[in-house]
């Protein structure tokens, strides 16, 4: 019998306690134990970014992290991103995160398999810039998404979507403060 | 005047949100790997580690003894039939393995990890056979024979085309340029890997959840491989993480999932892991393309003569049919009266090639466009002037009999030139040289009759809430077909896009379609959807005419209402009321329109002549590059891409296809190569198989040119592959412009560019 270890963390605002095998990756834990299948498995080696989630607000590839390594941390997946934005901005459900809205308006998703990971990476990037009341340049957006592969879009509409989102987030923050 | 020209549109041509976008940005979308079927277990495939060998013994006893293993299939304990275009292999190999992707056994177990562990416990004894990995070597008389039934390792398809008098044209030409172009293995590298779930019911019916893009041909081929009739198979296509041609054939994964599921009497799911995807999903066919072009002193093309050697790999899939397209470009792109094309398609012990976006056209275009520049240089002509002189024009008929109707090839070049010449923000860097290159494109844009039918069926149902359901044969693979087809129905019926639902993923429900290929879906499935919408509209007006007590000819419909044209505000009736009236009256009726659209085109005959497509797509791309002379590094600063799209039904979708196509084509040009050594894939992962990243991508300026083709739905032509096709040629021409060297081998790695620059310097010095 595989030995199990206690894990306690917050996923999308919900406290979770489980006993899991030590070898379980964060991605397996999210997809299989919690059935949060919005985060996709693509390379399993941390090279493509499809499995990106936020850990305490920072984007990380969940396929190469052990679930036990994020014990005590706050995990946000694509399923919890809109709620995270609502909590930050005071927006009401079902308003989506500005990056998600940018993707809808600009056509950032085609097959969509990389989308959850790209959206999470972009959301993390914009949150970091927003803390300094800034917005990333186009080059900074490209650099921030370097770890996310997309085979459909050529990234053009993704970058536009993130630019639109950055402007919207900054405007919203300024209106609020 | 075109039937589409006068009307102003409410939905067509507007920037809309893709129908499936909300699911995709919120993570709600369920791809095949996300799905579970009750009772489902996991399957895993064991492959040979040696490229060519006799199977002496397979011992599965230790694997079977592992707790949690439900069963194991091999070529020796299940019944199966040969499959594939040439029927040259079995899903589970017997007796001989011929490439390192070959499947020798498969395990069903309670978890994926257990299935993988059981695979490691299977003992297979191989007797290695001499192998051959180079197509030229495979053609030698003493080469190892890969299939007894195909002596000489030559795939038994010939693609020999001849038009005019090529030899005479070369004798009489003022100038001849020639070259040999070596083009590599690349693969679709979809973010979502191939996957299948197979489930049998107690009556012997099979349901397959598949990543296929040809559900109806798949249904037929799978039935044949399993020895059952096609009516027993239902194919469901969940959202798929990319395809780009990958799903154009039936592959062992699907057959094995079905065999395993039947063997263990449980639903079985198989999902490729990433290295398996690189190893065992189809590749673009590598080839050596030798071309000579003859021209008059003024630049007029006289003749082309091409011979292509294609590495087919160990088995025949669609890679071996790409010469159809290579030939069409060679004989049709730019006006050229005398053409000869021949090819040898060679079996090797490499992984086997399938179909990939652009399908032979990238290869031909790379060679042709290199020689257009070479001709211009030899004749001292402007590179665009020689293209203008030879450009295809409306009304042209190519030597194969392809009838060109709408054609804005030259306008595309003008637009690409305009955009590439716009000022660039970045100043030139010391040590780097800038250059501009051009390349055009000619591709099918009105379907492609490569099968006896090029048809697609569509049904449009109007319901008692005034909502339309389009049930289409076409498949959604991320390219946006669902959205553009819904836009067509919404426009024709006069309802908002939000009131159209698309059903497109189940062979038990949807009408027949050939599949997603040849940039055909918008044109073919679009015409089918338009005709079905017209059919239901006719029924709607007939029923409303009774309720409004007016002749049909006095009625029109828009914004969800049928109205009397003379009194639109007062005498009108909502669609839902018309539909309900049909339900409630005696005898009753539903409102359902249907159509099957198959264009009036021809398959190529035995001499490879015939008009395969009802219209053709054209494009031109310009690339602005910087090359660092000291290192050979290329940076593409800008790509201008102009496309004759007929009409841009969904501009966001058009741009997205073009931009993504450029990414795929630039990868082919600069970084992507599936590297094989002795039949082994050396780089089966994203760390070593280099897809371009966001910082790698240039600025892309897209122009959509609307020629409004009367054969297309609202004037549209296909464009799904267009962005991919010319870009490698444009970049290679830009490199030539920048540093003066002609690169003939892809990808254009810094090493290759550096060596070419060094070689040119040392040649210039002597």
Residue B523 CA to residue B485 CA, distance in Å, equals 10
Q: Which pLDDT score is estimated for B387?
A: 98
Q: Which CATH class is domain A92-176?
A: mainly alpha
Q: Which pLDDT score, from 0 to 100, does residue B158 have?
A: 87
B686 near A CB under 8 A: yes
Residue B765 has pLDDT above 80, yes or no: no
Tokens standing for B356? 């990939």
pLDDT of residue B319: 85
The answer to whether the CB atoms of B659 and A156 lie below 8 A apart is: yes
Task: Look at strands A74-76 and A52-55 and give their pairing.
Answer: antiparallel
Question: Can you tell me the distance from the alpha carbon of B157 to that of B344, in angstroms, rounded to the nearest whole number?
Answer: 8
In a domain, B310, yes or no: yes
Residue in B276, B650, B694, B722 to test binding to A, most A beta-carbons within 10 Å:
B694
Domain count, chain B: 3
**Rounded CA gap, B147 and B157, in Å?**
15
B467 and B593 housed in the same domain? yes
Cβ atoms of residues B181 and B351 within 8 Å: no
Measured distance CA(B406)–CA(A4) in Å, rounded: 67
Residues of B in contact with A37 (CB under 8 A): 27, 30-31, 34
- In CATH, what is the architecture of A4-79? Roll (3.10)
Give the per-residue pLDDT at A119: 98
Residue B21 has its nearest CB partner, among A104, A114, A143, at: A104
Give the closest-approach CA distance of A133 to chain B in angstroms.
24
Copy the structure tokens of residue B553: 């000819």
Tokens of A129: 């810039």
> Are B327 and B217 part of one and the same domain?
no
Q: How far apart are CA B466 and CA B484, in angstroms?
A: 20
**Prediction ipTM score:** 0.98
Whether B274 sits inside 8 A of A50 (CB atoms) is: no
One domain for residues B325 and B426: yes
For residues A54 and B401, what is the distance between their CA atoms, to the nearest angstrom? 58
**Same domain, yes or no, for B614 and B495?**
no
Both tokens of B146, joined, read 């890969």
Residue ranges, comma separated, of all CATH 1.10.150.120 domains in chain A are 92-176
What's the rounded Cα separation, in Å, for the pair B327 and B604? 11
* Banded model confidence at residue B763, pLDDT cuts 50, 70, 90: confident
Provide the pairing of β-strand B591-597 with B456-462.
Answer: antiparallel
The β-bridge relationship of strands B268-271 and B283-284 is unpaired
CB-based contact B255:B228 (threshold 8 Å): no
B 443-502 residues with CB below 8 A of A? 477-480
CA distance B241 to B33: 10
Q: How far apart are CA B85 and CA B286, in angstroms?
A: 19
Closest partner residue to A48 among B18, B659, B686, by Cβ? B686
Alpha carbon of residue B288 to chain centroid:
21
Interchain CB contact of B650 with A (< 8 Å): no
Query: Which residue in B210, B268, B214, B251 sits closest to B31, CA to CA?
Result: B210
Annotate B99-119 with b (16+ C-beta within 10 A) or e (fewer): bbbbbbbbbbbeebebbbbbb
| Length of chain A counted residue by residue | 177
CATH 3.10.20.30 domain range(s) in chain A: 4-79
Residue B141 lies in a domain: no
Chain A stretch 110-129, residues whose beta carbon is closer than 8 A to a beta carbon of chain B: 110-116, 119
**Looking at the structure, do residues B648 and B753 belong to the same domain, yes or no?**
yes
pLDDT of B1 reads 39
Hey, which residues 1-30 in chain A have their CB within 8 Å of chain B? none
Residue-by-residue DSSP string for B701-739:
EEEEE----TTSGGG----TTGGGSSHHHHHHHHHHHHH
Residue B250 is part of a domain; what is its CATH number? 3.90.1170.50
What residues have CB less than 8 Å from B612, skipping those under 6 apart?
Answer: B328, B402, B444, B448, B449, B450, B601, B602, B603, B604
Check B685 against A152: CB less than 8 A apart. Answer: no
- Tokens in use for B126? 């191989």
Residue B425 makes CB contacts below 8 A (sequence gap 6+) with: none
Tokens linked to B597: 């659209």
**Looking at residue B700, which CATH number applies to its domain?**
3.30.365.10
Within B380-500, residue ranges assigned H as helices are 383-390, 409-420, 481-493
d(CA B724, CA B666): 8
H helical segments located in B270-360 = 274-280, 323-332
Same domain, B67 and B208: yes
B746 within a domain of the structure (yes/no): yes
Which of these three, B261, B278, B295, is where a domain ends? Answer: B278
The three-state secondary structure class of B593 is strand
Q: Is B28 within 8 Å of chain A by CB?
A: yes
What's the rounded mean pLDDT across residues A120-136? 93
Average pLDDT, integer, range A5-33: 98
Q: Is the pLDDT of residue B6 over 70?
A: no
Does residue B549 sit in the same domain as residue B486?
yes
* Burial of A27: CB neighbours in 10 Å, binned 0-12, 13-18, 19+: buried
User: How far apart (Å, rounded) are the C-alpha atoms in residues B325 and A48?
Assistant: 33
Q: Verify that B552 and B428 share a domain, yes or no.
A: no
CA distances from A104 to B21, B133, B657, B731 (A): 6, 47, 16, 32
Residue B4 has a pLDDT of 52
- B30/A contact by beta carbon, under 8 A: yes
- B432 sits in which H/E element: strand B432-444
The yes-or-no verdict on residue B633 having pLDDT over 70 is yes
Of the three residues B562, B582, B597, the one that is the final residue of a domain is B597
Together in a domain, B477 and B543: yes
Which residue in this structure is represented by tokens 């940076």?
B635
Report chain A residues whose CB lies below 8 A from the CB of B112: none
Map A95-123 to HEC letters.
CCCHHHHHHHHHCCCCCCCCHHHHHHHHH
Q: Is the peptide bond before B595 cis (omega within 30 degrees of 0)?
A: no
Helices (H) and strands (E) in chain B, counts: 18, 30
At residue A113, the pLDDT reads 98
Residue B2 has pLDDT above 50, yes or no: no
Closest Cα partner for B274 from B357, B188, B209, B183? B188
Cα separation, B456 vs B446, in Å, equals 13
Dist CA B656 CA A109 (whole Å): 9
B504 and B544 fall within a common domain:
yes
B381 and B469 co-located in one domain: no
CB interface of A with B, residues 145-164, below 8 Å: 145-159
Which residue among B240, B241, B697 places its CB closest to the CB of A155? B697
Predicted local distance difference test score (pLDDT) of residue B157? 84
Spatial distance between the Cα atoms of B554 and B558, rounded to a whole number of angstroms: 14
Give B-chain residues touching A48 at CB under 8 angstroms: 191, 686
Residue-wise pLDDT tens digits, A54-78: 999 999 999 999 999 999 999 999 9
B428 and B527 both lie in a single domain: no
Whether B443 maps to a domain, the answer reads yes
Q: Which residue has the tokens 């091999």?
A: B74
The pair of three-digit structure tokens given for residue B511, joined into one six-digit string: 């009408």
C-alpha B521 chain-centroid distance = 11
Beta-carbon contacts of B749 under 8 Å, excluding residues fewer than 6 positions away, are B632, B670, B671
Q: What mean pLDDT do residues B547-556 have? A: 97
Give domain status of residue B661, yes or no.
yes
Alpha carbon B600 to chain centroid, angstroms: 22
How far is A163 from chain B, CA to nearest CA, in Å? 14
Instruction: Report the relative pairing of strands B268-271 and B301-313 from DSSP bridges.
Output: unpaired
As a whole number, mean pLDDT of residues B512-526 equals: 97
- C-alpha pair distances (Å), B266 with each of B39, B233, B261, B344, B669: 6, 16, 5, 44, 45
pLDDT score recorded for residue B766: 53
Per-residue pLDDT band for B86 (boundaries 50, 70, 90) equals confident
Average pLDDT, chain B: 97
Does the structure show a pLDDT above 90 at B313?
yes
Average of pLDDT values for B57-68?
Answer: 98
Summarize pLDDT for B41-62 with one digit per residue, the tens.
999 999 999 999 999 999 999 9
Residue B563 scores a pLDDT above 60: yes
* Bridge partners of residue B628, in order along the sequence: B432, B633
How much of chain B exceeds pLDDT 90, in percent? 96
Q: Does B16 fall in a domain?
A: no
- Domain's final residue, options B570, B597, B624: B597
- Residue B259 tokens read as 């065999």
Backbone angles phi, psi at A9, to 5 degrees: -155, 175
* Nearest alpha-carbon partner for A81 in A58, A102, A61, A53: A53
- Determine, yes or no, domain membership for B158: no
Strand locations in A22-140, DSSP E? 52-55, 58-61, 74-76
- Please return the burial class of B300, using the count of CB atoms within 10 Å of its CB with bins 0-12, 13-18 and 19+: middle
Query: What is the domain range of residue B347?
Result: 283-448+604-765
* Cβ under 8 Å to A: B residues 7-26: 15, 17-18, 20-26
A82 in reach of chain B (CB within 8 A)? yes
* Average pLDDT taken over every residue of chain A: 96
> Is the pTM for the entire model greater than 0.90?
yes
SS3 content of chain A, % helix, strand, coil (to 5): 45, 15, 40
- The residue length of chain B stands at 766
Percentage of chain B exceeding pLDDT 70: 99
| Per-residue pLDDT tens digits for B642-685 | 999 999 999 999 999 999 999 999 999 999 999 999 999 999 99
| pLDDT tens digits, B12-26 | 999 999 999 999 999
Confidence of residue A1 (pLDDT cuts 50, 70, 90): low
**Residue pointed to by tokens 């129908």:** B19
């Amino acid at each position: 019998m595989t030995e199990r270890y206690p894990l306690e963390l917050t996923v999308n605002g919900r406290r979770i306690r489980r006993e899991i095998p030590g070898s379980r990756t964060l991605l397996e834990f999210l997809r299989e134990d919690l059935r949060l299948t919005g985060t996709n498995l693509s390379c399993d080696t941390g090279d493509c970014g499809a499995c990106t989630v936020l850990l305490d607000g920072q984007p990380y590839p969940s396929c190469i992290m052990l679930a036990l390594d994020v014990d005590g941390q706050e995990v946000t997946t694509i399923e919890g991103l809109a709620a995270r934005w609502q909590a930050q901005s005071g927006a009401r459900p079902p308003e989506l995160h500005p990056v998600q809205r940018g993707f809808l308006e600009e056509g950032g998703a085609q097959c969509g398999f990389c989308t959850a990971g790209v959206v999470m990476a972009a959301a993390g990037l914009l949150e970091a810039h927003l803390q300094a009341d800034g917005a990333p340049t186009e080059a900074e957006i490209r650099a921030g998404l370097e770890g996310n592969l997309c085979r459909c879009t050529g990234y053009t509409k993704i970058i536009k979507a993130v630019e639109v989102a950055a402007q919207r987030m900054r405007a919203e923050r300024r209106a609020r403060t | 005047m075109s039937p589409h020209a006068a009307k102003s549109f409410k939905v067509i041509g507007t920037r809309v949100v893709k129908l499936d976008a909300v699911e995709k940005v919120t993570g709600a979308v369920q791809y095949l790997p996300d799905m579970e079927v009750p009772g489902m277990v996991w399957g895993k495939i064991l492959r040979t580690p040696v490229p060519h060998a006799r199977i002496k013994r397979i011992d599965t006893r230790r694997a079977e003894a592992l707790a949690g293993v439900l069963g194991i299939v091999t070529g020796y304990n299940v019944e199966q039939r040969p499959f594939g275009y040439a029927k040259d292999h079995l899903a589970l190999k017997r007796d001989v393995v011929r490439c390192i992707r070959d499947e020798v056994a498969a395990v069903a177990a309670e978890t994926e990890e257990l299935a993988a562990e059981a695979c490691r416990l299977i003992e297979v004894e191989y007797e290695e056979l001499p192998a051959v990995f180079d197509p030229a070597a495979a053609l030698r008389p003493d080469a190892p024979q890969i299939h007894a039934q195909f002596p000489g390792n030559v795939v038994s398809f010939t693609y020999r085309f001849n038009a005019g008098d090529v030899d005479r044209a070369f004798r009489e030409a003022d100038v001849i340029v020639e070259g040999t172009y070596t083009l590599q293995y690349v693969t679709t590298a979809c973010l979502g890997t191939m996957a299948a779930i197979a489930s049998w019911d107690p009556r012997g019916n099979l349901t397959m959840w598949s990543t296929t893009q040809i559900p109806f041909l798949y249904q037929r081929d799978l039935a044949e491989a399993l020895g059952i009739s096609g009516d027993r198979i239902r194919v469901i296509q969940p959202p798929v993480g990319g395809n780009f041609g990958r799903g154009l054939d039936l592959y062992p994964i699907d057959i094995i999932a079905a065999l395993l599921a039947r063997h263990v009497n449980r639903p079985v799911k198989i999902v490729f892991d990433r290295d398996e995807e690189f190893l065992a999903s189809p590749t673009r066919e590598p080839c050596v393309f030798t071309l000579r072009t003859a021209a008059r002193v003024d630049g007029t093309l006289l003749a082309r003569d091409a011979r292509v050697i294609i590495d087919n790999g160990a088995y025949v899939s669609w890679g071996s049919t790409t010469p159809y397209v290579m030939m069409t470009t060679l004989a049709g792109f730019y006006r050229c009266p005398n053409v000869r094309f021949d090819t040898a398609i060679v079996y090797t012990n490499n992984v086997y090639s399938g179909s990939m976006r652009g399908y032979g056209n990238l290869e031909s275009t790379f060679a042709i466009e290199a020689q257009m520049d070479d001709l211009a240089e030899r004749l001292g002509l402007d590179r665009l002037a020689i293209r203008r002189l030879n450009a295809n024009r409306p009304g042209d008929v190519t030597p194969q009999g392809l009838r060109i109707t709408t054609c804005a090839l030259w306008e595309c070049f003008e637009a690409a030139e305009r955009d590439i010449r716009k000022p660039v923000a970045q100043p030139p860097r010391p040590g780097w040289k800038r250059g501009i290159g051009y390349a055009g494109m000619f591709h099918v844009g009105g379907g492609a009759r490569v099968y006896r039918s090029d048809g697609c069926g569509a049904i449009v149902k109007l319901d008692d809430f005034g909502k339309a359901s389009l049930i289409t044969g076409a498949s959604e693979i991320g390219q946006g077909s669902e959205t553009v087809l819904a836009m067509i129905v919404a426009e024709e019926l006069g309802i908002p896009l939000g009131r159209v639902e698309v059903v497109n993923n189940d062979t038990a429900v949807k009408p027949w379609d050939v599949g997603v290929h040849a940039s055909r879906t918008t044109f073919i499935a679009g015409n089918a959807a338009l005709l079905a919408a017209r059919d239901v509209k006719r029924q709607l007006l007939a029923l409303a005419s009774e309720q409004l007590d007016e002749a049909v000819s006095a009625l029109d419909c828009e914004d969800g209402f049928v109205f009397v044209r003379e009194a639109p505000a007062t005498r009108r009736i909502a669609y839902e009321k018309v539909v309900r009236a049909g339900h409630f009256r005696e005898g009753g009726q539903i409102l359902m329109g249907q159509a099957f659209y198959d264009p009036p085109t021809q398959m190529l005959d035995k001499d490879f002549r015939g008009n395969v497509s009802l219209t053709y797509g054209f494009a031109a791309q310009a690339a602005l590059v910087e090359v660092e002379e000291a290192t050979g590094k290329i940076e593409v600063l800008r790509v201008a891409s102009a496309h004759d799209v007929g009409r841009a039904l969904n501009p966001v979708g058009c741009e997205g296809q073009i931009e993504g196509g450029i990414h795929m084509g630039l990868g082919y040009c600069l970084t992507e190569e599936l590297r094989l050594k002795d039949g082994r894939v050396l780089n089966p992962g994203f760390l070593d198989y280099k897809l371009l990243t966001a910082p790698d991508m240039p600025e892309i300026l897209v122009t959509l040119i609307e020629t409004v083709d009367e054969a297309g739905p609202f004037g549209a032509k296909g464009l799904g592959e267009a962005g991919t096709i010319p870009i490698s040629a444009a970049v290679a021409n830009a490199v030539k412009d920048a540093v003066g060297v002609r690169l003939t081998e892809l990808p254009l790695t810094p090493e290759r560019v550096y060596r070419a620059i060094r070689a040119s310097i040392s040649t210039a010095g002597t």
